[in-house]
Structure 1
Amino acid sequence: MKNKYRILGITSGGFEGFSGVNNNLFSEIGKKYELIDIVDNKLSGFWKYYNALYCFLKTPGFNKYIKPFNEIYHGETSYYRFRTNYYFVERTKAAERILKERTDEYDVILQTGWIPAILEQKQIPRCIYTDYTMKLSEKEFPQWSTFLSDKDKNKWIQMETKSYKNANAIFTSSEHTRKSIIYDYGVHKEKVLTVYEGTDIEKIPDIDKKYDYNIILFVGVDFERKGGYILLNAFKKIREEIKDARLIIIGSRPKINIEGVEVKGFVSYIEKMHYFSIASVFTMPSFAEPFGLVFLEAMAHKIPCIGTNVCAMPEIIQDFETGYLVEPNNSEELADRVISILKDHELARKMGTNGRKRVEELFTWEKVVKRMSIEFDKLI
Structure 2
Amino acid sequence: MTRKIDLYCEGDCWDPKLWSATPYELATTLKKMGLLHNTCNVNPLENESFITHYLSKLSYLHIDKKGVCTLQDSIHPRRYRVCEKKALEFYESNPKPDSIITIGHLAIFHKTPYFTLQDLDTNTVLKWRKEKKTTYMLDRIPISILEKNQKIQQEVYENAAGIFVSSEWVRKNICSYISEPRKVFTTGIGHRYSTVELTEEILRERFENPVLLFIGKEGIRKGVDAVIEAFQQIKNEFKNMKLRIVTNQDLLPKQVKKSINRTPEVELYSNISSKELSDMYMSSSLFVMPSRFEPFGKVFFEAMAFGLPVIGANHCAMPEFITNDYNGYTSSVNSEEIAERVKQVFESFKTYKKLSKNAISVSEKYREENVVAEMLSIIDRYSS
The residue type equivalent to 1:336 in the other structure is E
Residue 332 of structure 1: aligned partner: 336
CA, structure 1 residues 337+375, in 2 after alignment: closer, same or farther (shift >3 Å)? same
User: Aligned ranges for residues 68-87 of structure 1 at < 5 Å?
Assistant: 76-77=69-70, 79-87=71-79
1:182 partnered with 2:178: no
Residue 90 of structure 1: aligned partner: 82
Residue 19 of structure 2: aligned partner: 18
Contact kept? 1:217, 1:249, Cα under 8 Å: yes
Paired with 2:167 and 2:270, the residues of 1 have a C-alpha distance of: 29
1:359 partnered with 2:363: yes
CA, structure 1 residues 95+273, in 2 after alignment: closer, same or farther (shift >3 Å)? same
Residue 69 of structure 1: aligned partner: none
SS of equivalent to 2:8: strand
Paired with 1:216 and 1:49, the residues of 2 have a C-alpha distance of: 39
Paired with 1:275 and 1:34, the residues of 2 have a C-alpha distance of: 33
SS of equivalent to 1:14: coil
The residue type equivalent to 2:125 in the other structure is S
Q: CA deviation at 1:198?
A: 2.1
Paired with 1:63 and 1:197, the residues of 2 have a C-alpha distance of: 36
The residue type equivalent to 2:219 in the other structure is F
1:27 partnered with 2:25: no
SS of equivalent to 2:221: coil
Paired with 2:178 and 2:52, the residues of 1 have a C-alpha distance of: 33
Range with greater deviation from structure 2 (261-270 or 331-340): 261-270
Unaligned 5+ segments in structure 1 are: 65-75
User: Aligned ranges for residues 301-316 of structure 1 at < 5 Å?
Assistant: 301-316=306-321
Q: CA deviation at 1:48?
A: 4.7
Contact kept? 2:244, 2:267, Cα under 8 Å: yes
SS of equivalent to 1:207: coil
Residue 238 of structure 1: aligned partner: 234
Paired with 1:276 and 1:152, the residues of 2 have a C-alpha distance of: 39
Q: CA deviation at 1:166?
A: 0.8
Unaligned 5+ segments in structure 2 are: none
Residue 322 of structure 2: aligned partner: 317
Paired with 1:296 and 1:4, the residues of 2 have a C-alpha distance of: 28
Pick one of 132, 141, 144 that aligns with 2:120: 132
SS of equivalent to 1:299: helix
Task: Report the count of equivalent residues.
Answer: 357
Contact kept? 1:219, 1:249, Cα under 8 Å: yes
Range with greater deviation from structure 2 (16-25 or 239-248): 239-248
Contact kept? 2:309, 2:356, Cα under 8 Å: yes
Q: CA deviation at 1:8?
A: 0.6
Q: CA deviation at 1:339?
A: 1.6
SS of equivalent to 1:29: helix
Paired with 2:184 and 2:272, the residues of 1 have a C-alpha distance of: 37
SS of equivalent to 1:267: coil
The residue type equivalent to 2:7 in the other structure is G
Contact kept? 1:108, 1:124, Cα under 8 Å: yes
Q: CA deviation at 1:6?
A: 0.7
Aligned sequence identity (%) = 27
Q: Deviations over 1:3-60 (max 9, x none)?
A: 562111100122232221111112112233431221110121487545311123x433
Q: CA deviation at 1:375?
A: 1.8
Paired with 2:66 and 2:340, the residues of 1 have a C-alpha distance of: 45
CA, structure 1 residues 151+264, in 2 after alignment: closer, same or farther (shift >3 Å)? closer
Contact kept? 1:127, 1:168, Cα under 8 Å: yes
Paired with 1:310 and 1:141, the residues of 2 have a C-alpha distance of: 13
Residue 199 of structure 1: aligned partner: 191
Contact kept? 1:241, 1:339, Cα under 8 Å: no
Paired with 2:242 and 2:66, the residues of 1 have a C-alpha distance of: 42
Q: CA deviation at 1:224?
A: 0.4
Paired with 2:287 and 2:247, the residues of 1 have a C-alpha distance of: 14
CA, structure 1 residues 130+354, in 2 after alignment: closer, same or farther (shift >3 Å)? same
CA, structure 1 residues 252+348, in 2 after alignment: closer, same or farther (shift >3 Å)? farther
Paired with 1:181 and 1:168, the residues of 2 have a C-alpha distance of: 14
Q: CA deviation at 1:373?
A: 1.5
The residue type equivalent to 2:185 in the other structure is L
Q: CA deviation at 1:290?
A: 2.0
Residue 5 of structure 2: aligned partner: 7
Contact kept? 1:80, 1:147, Cα under 8 Å: no
Contact kept? 1:9, 1:39, Cα under 8 Å: yes
CA, structure 1 residues 244+9, in 2 after alignment: closer, same or farther (shift >3 Å)? same
Residue 111 of structure 1: aligned partner: 102
Contact kept? 1:117, 1:160, Cα under 8 Å: no
Residue 379 of structure 2: aligned partner: 376
User: Aligned ranges for residues 192-231 of structure 1 at < 5 Å?
Assistant: 192-202=184-194, 204-208=195-199, 209-210=202-203, 211=206, 212-231=208-227
Q: RMSD of the alignment, in Å? A: 2.1
The residue type equivalent to 2:209 in the other structure is Y
Which TM-score applies when normalising by structure 2?
A: 0.87
Paired with 1:147 and 1:237, the residues of 2 have a C-alpha distance of: 34
Paired with 1:62 and 1:336, the residues of 2 have a C-alpha distance of: 37
1:281 partnered with 2:286: yes
